[in-house]
Amino acid sequence: MVMKILHVCEYVRGGITTYLNEILNYQVSDNQVSSVHVLMSEYNSDRLLINGVHVHYYSYERKFGRFFSAIRQINQAIQKIRPDIIHIHSSFAGLFVRLCFLFKRKRPKIVYCAHGWSFLMEISRMKKSIYGILERVLAVKTDRIINISDYEFIGSQKYKIPEEKSLVIPNGIEERLYKKNDIVLTLDHSKLNLLFVGRFDRQKGIDILLDFFKNDPLKHVRLYLIGENVLDPVRMKIPDHIISLGWIDHDRIDSYYEKFDAVIIPSRWEGFGLVAIEAMKNRKPVIASNRGDLPDLVKSGVNGYLFDLDHLEELTRILTTVSKQELQTMGEQGFSIFQEKYTGETLNRRLMDVYKQLIDRNEPVIQHASSQYEAK
């Protein structure tokens, strides 16, 4: 049986764009898929230009007064498209879609990925509890719940997300590098050149990084930023000695990665850490906070270093003692880890297996754990 797949998102930006580009290119070429559709906010979203993919938009901004309109528009789009599989990306999209079916008996098969559980963020205990209850209620109208890391799966079990519906499928990206010859960026190779890639939002710890380099500038280190505000409305001031390159299109990002000595990720919380595997694919070591799933991706002294956000003297020690040769060696080791665990081929095969199980066999139970989790 061939299937029609609809991906529903809130904002498509940054890591979600990378994820969608990876899976949409694969699914649109699968002979068991009749058509692939994407429904996303017309505000704050990248444009997806993938041959054969049908892209639809709904009018929405993340304001409470717009929620009901978003639910109505999404419900209308689902009725028009009539998909066999709805794959939901992010918690707000998960709320909007599943509320449409909360009191309906007939519905498509629903696959949900929070891409970072809300109750694992740095928020109050009360909010964590409310989000956990809401996710458990909405799980009633969900056939498969995908966790993007073992860290996410373990965290979800503390909030009693149904284990029998849950599985772990780590993010993955294709091995091919997108190189552009027209990138004009000259670095001072006598310095240690670090690159931050991501949203300029609190989650990503960009404010911590800016304060660190503002208050304790290391003369031999030069920091570059790729990204912009997406969720946080307040634009932060970037010191003159830190270079902001703005938002870079996905098909040009590899050309920037290759120019730097290391990639730095100071996230406060991180369900997975897609930037880490992008760096590894480009043979770049990762210097990351010890939060979320990052310690599973980055092994200190192997493919990078971890530091504690509450003890930034650790970051100072790393940056003042590491050599460029050591970073280069760790970058090569990171590439080997990427090839072994985080390729797009592995991600896409496992996703398609989930879809096919739901459509062909209507099998209610699937193994929740990834091979990484089973090995522990």
Q: pLDDT digits over 271-326, tens only? A: 899 999 999 999 999 999 999 999 999 999 999 999 999 999 999 999 999 999 99
| Contact call for residues 332 and 301 (beta carbons, < 8 A) | no
Structure-block tokens of residue 327: 């970073």
Average confidence (pLDDT) over 132-150: 97
Average confidence (pLDDT) over 204-228: 90
CA 114, CA 139: separation in Å to the nearest integer?
A: 12
Continuous segment of H or E residues that includes residue 263: strand 262-265
Judged on CB neighbours under 10 Å (0-12, 13-18, 19+), 346 is middle
CA 211, CA 198: separation in Å to the nearest integer?
A: 17
What's this model's pTM, rounded to 2 decimal places?
0.84
Quickly list H helices, 141-273.
150-158, 206-215, 253-257
At 364 the pLDDT is 45
| Contact call for residues 244 and 238 (beta carbons, < 8 A) | yes
Domain locations in the chain as residue ranges: 3-174+343-374, 192-341
Tally of CB atoms within 10 A around 249: 11
Residue 376 has pLDDT above 70, yes or no: no
Q: Which of 97-101, 239-243, 302-306, 324-328 has the lowest mean pLDDT?
A: 239-243
Residues 3-174+343-374: name the CATH superfamily. Glycogen Phosphorylase B; (3.40.50.2000)
Strand 144-147's sheet: what is its strand order? 53-58, 33-41, 3-9, 85-89, 109-113, 144-147, 166-168
CA 333 to chain centre: 22
Q: Which of 14-28, 71-85, 134-148, 318-332 has the lowest mean pLDDT?
A: 14-28
Residue 52 has pLDDT above 80, yes or no: yes
Q: What is the DSSP secondary-structure string of 83-117?
A: -SEEEEESHHHHHHHHHHTTT-S---EEEEE-SS-
Same CATH topology for 3-174+343-374 and 192-341: the answer is yes
φ/ψ bin of 234: left (φ > 0), alpha (ψ from -120 to 50), beta (otherwise) = beta
Residue 123 has pLDDT above 80, yes or no: yes
At 374 the pLDDT is 37
| Contact call for residues 224 and 203 (beta carbons, < 8 A) | no
Domain 192-341 carries which CATH code? Answer: 3.40.50.2000
Going by pLDDT thresholds of 50, 70 and 90, the confidence category of residue 216 is: low
Percentage, residues of the chain above pLDDT 90 = 74
Q: Which range is most confident: 14-23, 108-117, 250-259?
A: 108-117
Tally of CB atoms within 10 A around 232: 15
